[in-house]
Structure 1
């Protein structure tokens, strides 16, 4: 246990801040909390604020799992009794904020400012745009606005959800994408029952956004929606599988091979359940791999993969094998369960590539292409520190490097 004091790094001592409880107790009760933490069935880290004027202390306890947290809350209630002044779950407290909010860009300080927002002012701008439709991005906020859509079909490890139940995950993604790009990212769950309905919704909202990003949506729905939109008016559409996870996974494969001095053209790689990886197989071919086994465990079972393993340099596991073959490195990638942000260099995440690709397509006003994704792969490899699989997500050059490489690829034919 860490003694009560200033908050330390998230995830220390094997704990996970996603399993936390915050309590407010009298200062005299801190000894009881220390005793409860010491008896906990799993690791627990304790952080405490300085005592408030009334002598109370706000203490946050991070556990390693849901079962430890459940035990911890029960024990605190039993041991502290009336001294337990307040209890809150930080996960639900943060979720209740909505995680991000709009801000005013136009001044509304004076009556003159407000007059620039009334119907007469709007009529002048609209009249201009009616005559000059290509000026929309000059005189509206559309170039800064990104729609973050989900139909709830692939949210974490859940079965398909009602769209509104996916909001916490989409709001978190919106925060991360806003931080990485500076765009106004609007979370939008869509109650679409089919890929055709999803495509129709994308088409209907497209006039108000610079781009749309599909997140927490099953890759089959993504592919079908893209196909349905090909005959519609052009719109910048990205997704977290093809433009995020697949790009990062391809870079991780290259880094793994280079660390072992295996040329891509000589590498033997198996991709398990390739349908989950979007364009991953195409990207691996694009970066120079010649021998790729696309292995479907549903059709073939697990035993043939074990027999094949001695001939492989790497297994890319997209399904989460319970018993992967021994003696061959395994790169674990599950689209529904990305690794924690704090350990983002240990496995691909959509945020490795998606922010840079999004910047590139919005800046150039061109749809993402296989060439842009390949350029993003090589940019990620170039930003990866020696000995790592991928660069950390907080690498200051990560998104700019991916954006620059993808922009060059998108404009190379000019």
Structure 2
């Protein structure tokens, strides 16, 4: 059975990269003698632990916590895959930990939770927080993600960030500024259509508004958010009050006609004709639904 399972994935290089997971724990010091063992563990470690107990701030000097980030997910909103559960989300969290190390020089530990209740997630993350210098919330579905992040930020004395919101928003704003420069446009003159009113869509819309984007329409699966909708959550109500100044009540495809920017932050696809109907020199940020040719 094991050989058959291995053969199923032999031709896909992605599975080879993930075989056995992508992370390991490597000590910063080797244990080469009895003296090393006695200092690394008992009895030497007791002196360090006693000092920290007397002066808690010493933990920042004598433990790994300040340089380690917890990457926490419940697997309810993974990439473009949706609610796939904690086990299936673990490769993604391992990958994020690899990015922290390679691009930021920080160690990170992926933690997937087998619960989705907001209170339980908050209590669980708060309980493990002393082991870490920061919390990176990842792929937690909206609107729960907003409350979880807000409550943890208020409760903990270490940084807490929901990457799907703020990481995505920062990258989108930076890319849009550069793209606008390339096409010779001012960011304040752009009309933007955002597909998706989840965590990423909300955060991107907020940061673009703060950056001075001229006009933004946000669409969910039912169409563009507008005041006439009767199915609005508090978050979507906020979007209605701060976007879509023209009161357009149609579909996302309709909103794209003449638009300068499309930002795709939800599942599904956009007809080619809708992109063709956008303004000349339009800017499109979209997640590819097909595997690029350079990935075999």
What range is the shorter-chain TM-score in?
A: 0.7 to 0.9
In structure 2, distance between residues paired with 1:230 and 1:318: 25
Q: Cα deviation per residue 1:58-93 (whole Å; 9 max; x = unaligned)? A: xxxxxxxxxxxx8xx9xxxxxxxxxxxxx6754434
Structure 1: runs of 5 or more not aligned:
1-21, 24-69, 74-86, 344-414
2:72–2:136 CA contact under 8 A, matched in 1: yes
Deviation at 1:204, TM superposition (A): 1.0
Match of 1:332 in 2: 285
In structure 2, distance between residues paired with 1:338 and 1:134: 50
Question: How do residues 278-297 of structure 1 correspond to structure 2 at under 5 angstroms?
Answer: 278-297=202-221
Q: What SS does the aligned partner of 1:262 have?
A: coil
Deviation at 1:297, TM superposition (A): 4.6
Deviation at 1:299, TM superposition (A): 4.1
In structure 2, distance between residues paired with 1:268 and 1:88: 44
Match of 1:314 in 2: 261
In structure 1, distance between residues paired with 2:255 and 2:13: 47
1:272–1:316 CA contact under 8 A, matched in 2: yes
- Of residues 325-334 and 297-306 in structure 1, the stretch that sits farther from structure 2 once superposed is 297-306
Deviation at 1:148, TM superposition (A): 1.2
Q: What SS does the aligned partner of 2:143 have?
A: helix
In structure 2, distance between residues paired with 1:207 and 1:233: 9
Match of 1:234 in 2: 157
Higher Rg of the two aligned structures = 1
In structure 2, distance between residues paired with 1:230 and 1:217: 16
Distance 1:232 1:119, change over 3 A: same
* TM-score using structure 2 length: 0.76
Match of 1:101 in 2: 24
Q: What SS does the aligned partner of 2:146 have?
A: helix
Given the alignment, which residue of 181, 188, 191 partners 2:114?
191
1:142–1:210 CA contact under 8 A, matched in 2: yes
In structure 2, distance between residues paired with 1:230 and 1:178: 24
Q: Alpha carbon RMSD of aligned pairs, Å? A: 3.1
Question: How do residues 139-288 of structure 1 correspond to structure 2 at under 5 angstroms?
Answer: 139-275=62-198, 276-288=200-212
Alignment length (residue pairs): 259
Structure 2: runs of 5 or more not aligned:
1-5, 226-248
Deviation at 1:307, TM superposition (A): 4.2
Deviation at 1:137, TM superposition (A): 0.7
* TM-score using structure 1 length: 0.56
Distance 1:132 1:153, change over 3 A: same
Distance 1:234 1:241, change over 3 A: same
In structure 1, distance between residues paired with 2:184 and 2:28: 52
In structure 1, distance between residues paired with 2:256 and 2:82: 31
Distance 1:183 1:112, change over 3 A: same
Deviation at 1:270, TM superposition (A): 2.1
Distance 1:337 1:132, change over 3 A: farther
Does the alignment pair 1:116 with 2:69? no
In structure 2, distance between residues paired with 1:280 and 1:149: 21
Match of 1:405 in 2: none
Q: Cα deviation per residue 1:160-216 (whole Å; 9 max; x = unaligned)? A: 233122222222222222211222211111112212222222111110001111223
Runs of 4+ in 1 over 6 A off after TM superposition: 336-340
